[in-house]
Amino acid sequence: MENTKWALVTGASGGVGKEIAGIMAQKKWNLVLVARSADKLNELASELSQKNGVQIKGCPCDLSKDNAAHEIFDFCESQNIKIDLLINNAGAGLYGASIELGDKALGMLKLNMLALTQMCTVFGKDMAERKSGSILNIGSIAGNQPTPMFASYAASKSYVLNYSIALRHELGAYGVNVTCVQPGYIRTQFDNNCGIVSEKYKKFSYKNGMSAYAVAKVAVKSVFRKRSYVRAGVTNKITAFVSGLIPKNFLAWCISKSMKTLTK
């Protein structure tokens, strides 16, 4: 029987978001795909629709805009679409000394925290009124510890984790589930996009990273099982457990030393 449910995926034009969209389409979910590039969205929508026989709508939007979530919600309303699963995958990273990055960090923080919060608020309210739905937020293992040279990024992902857990308890009373998935290194363009030039670091990242598909598979499984939060990958589970036992000042010192070794 045809699935009449709709999922919305942000950051759907590449990486983990694109892989999540592919998995959801295979599961016969209809999709609203959100990203900045209309061309990439249209190409992906056409490909997944033809391959899986589902309805797919592209919604080009820059999530860093103040009213982006409301624009996306209005688009869904105009198409008579009710979102049953919201997947907040869009995000950005930024590498470098905080005092050197200056205002560059503001755009990243706005996307990673404010845009995600607004999406959860707007769509979560609609789900609560219908007493049905799920939200999947993609965080990062970096959100579990202070990370020099990724200070703002790691802090923003700490927000994603704690916000998601708190929101889960707020919306649970309305029958709405919230799940946060924390991947570690992923074999995408993340390193290049956030400004890392060290080949040594990139090799380390690739060697220890998961594929975007593997992360997407864990993420989808986790939200369907209505988990609270999940660390993707065995290595990341161990890392998160061990880092939780280490005093934060000492942990930050260790990470700082490691970063210097990998990027010099």
Q: Is 57 helix (H, G, I), strand (E, B) or coil?
A: strand
DSSP H helices, the chain, are 15-26, 38-52, 68-78, 98-101, 104-109, 116-130, 151-171, 190-193, 199-207, 212-224, 234-243, 248-263
Scanning the structure block, which residue is given the tokens 């000492």? 250
- CA nearest neighbour of 32 among 101, 94, 81, 89: 81
Q: What pLDDT is recorded for position 1?
A: 45
What Cα–Cα distance (Å) separates residue 33 from each residue in 42, 47, 163, 243?
9, 13, 24, 35
Q: What pLDDT is recorded for position 243?
A: 87
Q: What pLDDT is recorded for position 85?
A: 98
Rounded CA-CA distance 244/231 in Å is 13
CB 60 within 8 A of CB 41: yes
- CA nearest neighbour of 84 among 18, 147, 3, 165: 3
For the question of residue 82 being annotated catalytic, the response is no
CA 189-194-250 angle, 5° bins: 115
Q: Is 252 helix (H, G, I), strand (E, B) or coil?
A: helix
Amino acid present at 109: L
Local mean pLDDT, 10-residue blocks, the chain (264 residues): 84 96 97 95 94 96 94 97 98 93 92 97 98 98 93 97 98 98 91 88 90 96 97 90 91 92 86
What Cα–Cα distance (Å) separates residue 168 from each residue in 53, 160, 175, 228?
32, 12, 10, 7
CB 196 within 8 A of CB 209: no
Record the pTM.
Answer: 0.93
Phi, psi at 20, each rounded to 5°: -60, -45
- CA nearest neighbour of 111 among 54, 60, 65, 176: 65
Neighbouring C-beta atoms of residue 59, cutoff 10 Å: 20
Q: What pLDDT is recorded for position 191?
A: 87
Catalytic entry in 157, 163, 185, 201: 157
For the question of residue 153 being annotated catalytic, the response is yes
Amino acid present at 22: G
Catalytic entry in 18, 57, 110, 153: 153
Q: What pLDDT is recorded for position 165?
A: 98
The residues with which 182 forms a beta bridge, in sequence order, are 231
